[in-house]
Amino acid sequence: MNVFAISDLHLSINNPKPMDIFGPVWDGYLETIERDWAAKVTDEDIVLLPGDLSWAMKIDEAKADIDYIGAFPGRKVIIRGNHDYWWKSISAVRSLLPDGMYAVQNDALRLDGCVICGTRLWTTPEPGKEQPAADKVIYDRELLRLRMSLDAAKKLRAEGDRLVVMLHYPPFNSTFRPTVFTDAIAEYSPDAVVYGHLHGSASRVRRLLTINDIPYYLTSCDLVNLSLIHISEPTRH
C-alpha cells in the first residue's frame, strides 16, 4: 500500500472555471493529473487531498466534484481548505461521500495500518508583524483543533502504524522555523505531514523540508508539477 498526496485541485466540474487565468500551469491541469493518478495509484493505495477540493459554494453543488474524485483509483481522504465554502458540517460532507472516500475534521481515521488526522489550520504570522486580533482567535482555535486530531490519532494508532498529519495551511511562516503548530505535531511523532494552500511564486515554497525530524510535504498541485506526491515509508522509529 502506497500513500500519495495532492491538494488545491479547485474543481468546478458542473460550472467550469477558467483556471488558466492563474497561469499557464493550469492549462489542461486536470487531464495531466488524471494521467498521473492512473499511472501511480491502485485501489489499495491511499490518496490524501489536503483542502481546496472544489470551488462550489453550496454542498449540493460540490457533489459533482466529489463524485469526480471518488471515481479515481485508491481510497481518498479529504480535509477542508479555506476555499471549500461548500463544507459546512462534517456530517453533511460525509453523507455525500462515495465508498472509499473519507473526510477528516479535527479527528482521525485508520486505514490498513495508516492513521490519518488533520485540520485546516490558519496563517502563521510573519516575524515582526502584529497578528490581528481576529486572526489570533482563529489561530488559537486551530491549535486546539490540531491537538484534538492528534489526540484522536494517538488513540487509534497501533504499534507499527504510520501516522500522517493532513493540514491545509502550512504550519509555519516564510522562515520555516518551528512554531506552536510544529511543536504540537512533534509531540506525537508522526511519520509525515502534508499541506497545501500555497500557489505561484509564494516565498514559503519548499516541496519537502524537515522540522523536528519530521518530513513536511507541500502538495499544492501547481507547485508539484501536477503530480501526486509519494509519501515515503517512515525511516524513523
The per-residue pLDDT for 19 is 80
What pLDDT is attached to residue 204? 59
In a domain, residue 236? The reply is no
pLDDT of residue 237: 42
User: Can you give the CATH number for the domain in which 107 is found?
Assistant: 3.60.21.10
Whether 53 contacts 81, CB under 8 Å: yes
Structural domain contains residue 225 = yes
Q: What pLDDT does residue 119 have? A: 96
d(CA 218, CA 75): 20
Question: How many domains, in total, are found in the chain?
Answer: 1
What 3-state class would DSSP assign to 3? strand
Q: What is the pTM of this model?
A: 0.95
Residue 42 lies in a domain: yes
**Does the residue 237 lie in any domain?**
no
Is residue 235 situated within a structural domain? Answer: no
pLDDT at 18: 75
Nearest to 1 by CA among 58, 36, 35, 45: 45
The reply to whether 37 falls in a domain is: yes
Q: Could you tell me if residue 163 is inside a domain?
A: yes
Q: Which domain holds residue 136?
A: 3-230
User: Can you give the pLDDT at residue 23?
Assistant: 84
C-alpha cell recorded at residue 159: 504499534
Alpha-carbon distance values, 63 to 44, 171, 237 (Å): 24, 29, 40
Distance, CA of 74 to CA of 13 (rounded, Å): 20
Q: Does residue 69 fall inside a structural domain?
A: yes
pLDDT tens digits in sequence order for the chain, 237 residues long:
999 999 999 999 988 777 877 788 888 999 999 999 999 999 999 999 999 999 999 999 999 999 999 999 999 999 999 999 999 999 999 999 999 999 999 999 999 999 999 999 999 999 988 899 999 999 999 999 999 999 999 999 999 999 999 999 999 998 999 999 999 999 999 999 999 999 876 555 788 999 999 999 999 999 999 999 999 876 544
